[in-house]
């Protein structure tokens, strides 16, 4: 079962218009949870989910997979500089400090349209895709 996505209005740097159907997403944290989620989203890339950036400092299987797919890898501090066309950032580190820094960096960059998605929502999405829920390893998944 696919995820049908229609063209949506886009008010990015160009100031409006319509973009190709789909969503540009980034994943922050490619440990156990982030790697699992990356694999699930890659399976749905032809259904309008474009992973356009990831953040991971360690060498993990997820970071290697992102490299293989040609997905740009940034530091947390660099991500906001490349966020003007991002719709969603899935924050999957389990760290309140990372989540707070993401929100602060986006605000300082003047980006009020990109949504920082907490891990709880990623869990629900993964379960709904019907391919298994994310590993439950982080005690704090909320805002």
What's the CATH code of the domain at 56?
Answer: 3.40.50.720
pLDDT for 20: 56
Domain for residue 5, yes or no? no
Per-residue pLDDT of the chain (143 residues; tens, 9 = 90+): 444 444 343 333 344 444 456 899 999 999 999 999 999 999 888 888 899 999 999 999 999 999 999 999 999 999 999 999 999 999 999 898 999 999 999 999 999 999 999 988 988 888 888 777 777 765 564 55
Q: Specify if 138 maps to a domain.
A: no
Is 135 within the bounds of a domain? no
Q: What is residue 137's predicted lDDT score, i.e. its pLDDT?
A: 67
Q: What pTM does this model have?
A: 0.81
Asked if the structure places residue 31 within a domain, the reply is: yes
pLDDT given at position 64: 97
Predicted pLDDT at 127: 86
Number of domains in the chain: 1
3-state secondary structure the chain: CCCCCCCEECCCCCCCCEECCCEEEEEECCCHHHHHHHHHHHHCHHHCEEEEEEECCCCCHHHHHHHHHCCCEECHHHHHHHCCCCCEEEECCCCHHHHHHHHHHHHHCCCCCCEEECHHHHHHHHHHCCCCCCCCCCCCCCC
Residue 108, domain member (yes or no) = yes
Q: Tell me the residue range of the domain where 80 lies.
A: 21-128
């Amino acid at each position: 079962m696919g995820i049908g996505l229609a063209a949506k209005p886009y008010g990015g740097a160009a100031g409006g218009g319509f973009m190709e159907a789909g969503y540009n997403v980034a994943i922050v944290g490619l440990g156990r949870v982030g790697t699992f989620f990356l694999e699930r989203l890659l399976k749905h890339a032809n259904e309008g989910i474009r992973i356009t950036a990831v953040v991971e400092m360690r060498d993990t299987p997820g970071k290697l997979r992102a490299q293989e797919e040609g997905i740009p890898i940034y530091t947390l501090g660099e991500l906001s500089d490349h966020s003007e066309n991002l719709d969603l950032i899935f924050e999957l580190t389990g760290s309140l400090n990372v989540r707070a820094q993401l929100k602060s960096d986006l605000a300082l960059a003047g980006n009020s349209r990109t949504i920082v998605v907490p891990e709880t929502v990623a869990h629900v999405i993964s379960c709904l895709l019907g391919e298994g829920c994310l590993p439950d390893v982080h005690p704090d998944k909320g805002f």
